[in-house]
Chains A and B, each alone.
Chain A
Amino acid sequence: MDKEENIIKVSNLTKNFKDFVAVNDISFEVKRGEIFAFLGPNGAGKSTTIKIITTLATPTSGKIEINGHDPLKNKDQTRKSFGIVFQDPSLDDDLTAYENMALHASLYGLPKNIAKSRIQELLEFVELWERRNSFVKTFSGGMKRRLEIARGLLHHPKILFLDEPTIGLDPQTRNHVWSYVKDINEKENMTVFLTTHYMDEAERVADRIAIMDHGKIIATGSSDVLKKKTNTTSLEDAFLALTGKDIREEEASSKDLLRAHRNRFGRR
């Protein structure tokens, strides 16, 4: 396959929830081997876009191609092409850290020996190896997040989606995670599609950035291009110049409230 080829192609993608337009006619491409960041205020439609690209939700309209496959028609092939770390929790709290990793390895068909060594490598990497036999429900929020990242890195997919992976992590761990991601990106030419609210992370790791607001992509380019465009000196200022300064009011759904509740007080 051509090295310059676009591994993700999205054209005129729209997603409506009843009469609310969450994603509004967006188009973009991501090159093979690129690290691409989606930035945008809360409720911009970043996660919704990722869910559609990764076959977990259906679009209202638009065309998508992932690694040459249509996520609507060719779900299995599409799913074989990517790995994902979700924004919301997705661990099984009643299993141990190790069991969560092993289950993921089986679901993704990793050969036993590779799975074994990689699980150890990654659990050591996120400093959970000592706690591998503890139930996830006994973990702190940051430990759970670290486990989810380790799990997401277990099989090395063609495309890795990271939806706010470093949320709730201390600066040391965040640094650590991004170095690791950059490393496999370089070594295996793995494409990375990330979202984050930390501008410094985006500036440091992303080759190209798309800024999204109210369901629309309002600017695309490298961090330098965006700064130049807005006549600012930091990505944060560029971001604020493009998206305005008012805080987005979000109507949290009951599910979000339940999740927030669970995050704060633990399960059940």
Chain B
Amino acid sequence: MNTVYVLWIREIKKYFRSKSRIIGALGQPILFLIAFGYGFQSIFKRAGGGNYIEFLAPGIILMSVLFTGVFSGINLIWDREFGFLKETMAAPVSRFSIILGKTLGGATVALIQGIIVFLLTLIIGFKITNYWLLPIAFIFVFLVSLLFTSLGTTIASMLEDMQGFQLIINFLVMPIFFLSGALFPLTGLPKALKIVARIDPLTYGIDGLRHALIAVHNFSYMVDFLVLFILSIIILSVGTYVFERIQV
């Protein structure tokens, strides 16, 4: 347990020490929020969708969580490339506690990033329907953080270098984002796209978050929760399996 804690703290310390990382990771969501939010506002309203910024905000919050989470896998690649991984691998601690500490650390960072974007959306004019549901919103942001940090760490455990990681991430993260319901409602989509969106795990995070923040949803809280939770556990187990076999 102590191992999990010290590795968790390490990730968080490193995050707060790199100001460029924090600021850099905020640029994209702000851009999306302003360009899409204001750009599609009137069309969305005319089509009877209501306020687009309100619809978009949960999607953008989770976009930043998705990116931060998956990219935290890079920390593992740095650790391997520059040797610190050997220090943890030679220590008399279980591999599971190492990967769990790292993943929880990365997930916490993604969660913090999501909260910062959430605060930004409030400044831009995002209005929440019911403040009492914020704890539920928080749970969904955390689950999405956990899921995609696990994914990033697992992929990083399988790869030796940065280039491979960048490549896979780009082929994975962009579709996950664009094919989820982050930018558009799932109702009235062509059949094929609807199926893809239902396979995309981010869809369930966005659905749960939208449900809590603006009371719009396609699935129940339970379905959203279970999909994210079970998938996180599966990916984390695969990650542990792969991580245990790393040779340094």
A residues adjacent to B (C-beta < 8 A):
51, 54-58, 76, 79-80, 82, 84, 86, 88-95, 99, 103-104, 106-109, 255, 258-259, 262, 267
Q: Which residue of B lies closest to A104 (CB)?
A: B87
Chain A residues near B2: list those with CB within 8 A. Answer: 106, 109
- Range, interface on chain B: 20 to 34
Chain B residues near A262: list those with CB within 8 A. Answer: 82
Expressed in whole angstroms, the minimum distance between the Cβ of A267 and any Cβ of chain B is 7
Please pick, from A57, A80, A95, A104, the residue contacting B247 in the complex, using a CB distance under 8 A: A57
Expressed in whole angstroms, the minimum distance between the Cβ of B245 and any Cβ of chain A is 9
A267 touches B92 (CB 8 A): no
A255 touches B6 (CB 8 A): no
A89 touches B83 (CB 8 A): yes
A56 touches B83 (CB 8 A): no
Complex Cα–Cα for A259 and B18 (A):
22
A94 touches B6 (CB 8 A): no
Interface assignment of B91: CB less than 8 Å from any CB of chain A: yes
Chain B residues near A255: list those with CB within 8 A. Answer: 81
B248 touches A89 (CB 8 A): no
Please pick, from B18, B88, B92, the residue contacting A76 in the complex, using a CB distance under 8 A: B92
Expressed in whole angstroms, the minimum distance between the Cβ of A187 and any Cβ of chain B is 22
Given contacts A56-B248, A92-B10, A95-B10, contact A86 B82 (CB under 8 A): no
Complex Cα–Cα for A229 and B91 (A):
40
Q: Which residue of A lies closest to B13 (CB)?
A: A95
Chain B residues near A108: list those with CB within 8 A. Answer: 91-92
- The 9 closest A-B CB pairs, nearest first, are A79-B92, A107-B91, A90-B83, A80-B92, A106-B6, A89-B83, A57-B247, A90-B87, A90-B86
Chain A residues near B82: list those with CB within 8 A. Answer: 89, 93, 259, 262, 267
Q: Which residues from 153 to 208 on chain B have a C-beta closer than 8 Å to any C-beta of chain A?
A: none
Complex Cα–Cα for A51 and B84 (A):
15
Interface assignment of B89: CB less than 8 Å from any CB of chain A: yes
Q: Which of B13, B79, B81, B92 has the most CB of A within 10 A?
A: B92
Given contacts A89-B82, A106-B6, A109-B2, contact A94 B88 (CB under 8 A): no
Chain B residues near A95: list those with CB within 8 A. Answer: 10, 13-14
Chain A residues near B10: list those with CB within 8 A. Answer: 92, 95, 103
Please pick, from A54, A88, A94, A258, the residue contacting B90 in the complex, using a CB distance under 8 A: A54
Complex Cα–Cα for A259 and B36 (A):
43
